[in-house]
Structure 1
């Protein structure tokens, strides 16, 4: 079911402005551009790129510090997938004509790996590290799915919608893999 235009505009506004305390709203996104990208597509790209990018240091910590082979292997698999996704998301951002800037720089939003998460993980060892790591990964993956469903419901560009479908499928598989490790 597709969201009516008013719902799409509201979702786009939420995605664009849902920043942490003291955050600054990102630059305006194009709406219904000739390229086929609408405001929801732009907002989704502007959020997913920093979400995936900020997950990488967390995932790299999991590769190095996980106390079990299962945690380290999960982290490595997720890190590889996130790097590939970032490449695809950046290509879409360029196709949408969006600036190559992080509109969410310094914003701690749901699902983003924060400095506090990373500090806590760096200070933990063994099973305590694994617990923090797995909780953080779950929060990231869950939020990625929520945001991506918003894109799938209200986005317009076929390339962005295809990427969102791929990402939702991938995140669902990643959540299953996470559950097997928890």
Structure 2
């Protein structure tokens, strides 16, 4: 009996030890698996952060990922606004000279349309430049731009009245509008900002129509 009891106790102890070893191995394996998953997650997170950083850097390089959102502008947009502001301002100056000088009813009506269209556009372009953190002026007064009148041109127009004013106004405004259309077409081609490109579209459409109208006015004066 004593020998049988000893053998039974020995087998029970062996089974208990085996179970403990198996449990310890399972726990260790589980720990390794969790560590591997955690490491994989960190790696994937790192890849994700890297991809996001790369995308952000790319967006920053172009100003913005989507045209029309704040910052989505380029040098062509800035130049368009900086050049078109003084260009529009001179058109308004020419239009104001018509008061008390213009005689033709169609010229007077056209003057009103120029003022109505270009003054709001100036305000828009100034707002863009403030948002973009860019100066309003390029320097030089803008007289080297296409279609800009010289000081002599403006003085000659100021000195005229009646039909003489109407003819001179039409001649000068045709050249002025042609310069604006040229600049707007450059913006259509090279610009990035949706708002600036829309104004360029408006300039091309409206001022091309006014050029045709002014040419007809000249033919009958």
The answer to whether the superposition gives a TM-score over 0.5 is yes
Distance, in Å, in 2 between the alignment partners of 1:166 and 1:55 is: 16
Structure 1 residues 64, 96: closer, same or farther in 2, change over 3 A?
Answer: farther
1:126 equivalent among 162, 165, 172: 162
Q: Larger Cα Rg: Structure 1 or Structure 2?
A: 2
TM-score, with length taken from structure 1: 0.74
Tell me, which stretches of 5 or more residues in structure 1 are unaligned? 1-30
Please, which moves more after superposition, 96-105 or 81-90? 96-105
Correspondence 1:112 to 2:148: yes
> Equivalent residue for 1:101?
137
Tell me, which stretches of 5 or more residues in structure 2 are unaligned? 1-60, 65-70
Greater relative contact order (CA < 8 Å, ≥ 6 in sequence): 1
Query: What does residue range 158-173 of structure 1 map to in structure 2 within 5 Å?
Result: 158-173=194-209
Tell me if structure 2 keeps the 8 A contact 1:36–1:157. yes
Tell me if structure 1 keeps the 8 A contact 2:63–2:74. yes
> Equivalent residue for 1:83?
119
> Equivalent residue for 1:17?
none
Query: What does residue range 1-182 of structure 1 map to in structure 2 within 5 Å?
Result: 32-34=62-64, 35-101=71-137, 103-105=139-141, 107-182=143-218
TM-score, with length taken from structure 2: 0.62
Distance, in Å, in 1 between the alignment partners of 2:217 and 2:63 is: 43
Distance, in Å, in 1 between the alignment partners of 2:75 and 2:82 is: 10
Judging by fraction of residues, say which structure has more helix: 2
CA RMSD, aligned part only?
Answer: 2.0
CA offsets per residue over residues 83-124 of structure 1, 9 Å max, x none?
122112222222322123353426343312332111001222
Provide runs of 4+ in structure 1 moved above 4 Å. none
Distance, in Å, in 1 between the alignment partners of 2:111 and 2:62 is: 38
Number of residue pairs matched by the alignment: 152
Structure 1 residues 85, 63: closer, same or farther in 2, change over 3 A?
Answer: farther
CA offsets per residue over residues 130-182 of structure 1, 9 Å max, x none?
11111110011111001100010111112211221122122123223323422
SS in 2 for 1:100: coil
Tell me if structure 1 keeps the 8 A contact 2:77–2:196. yes
Tell me if structure 2 keeps the 8 A contact 1:63–1:71. no
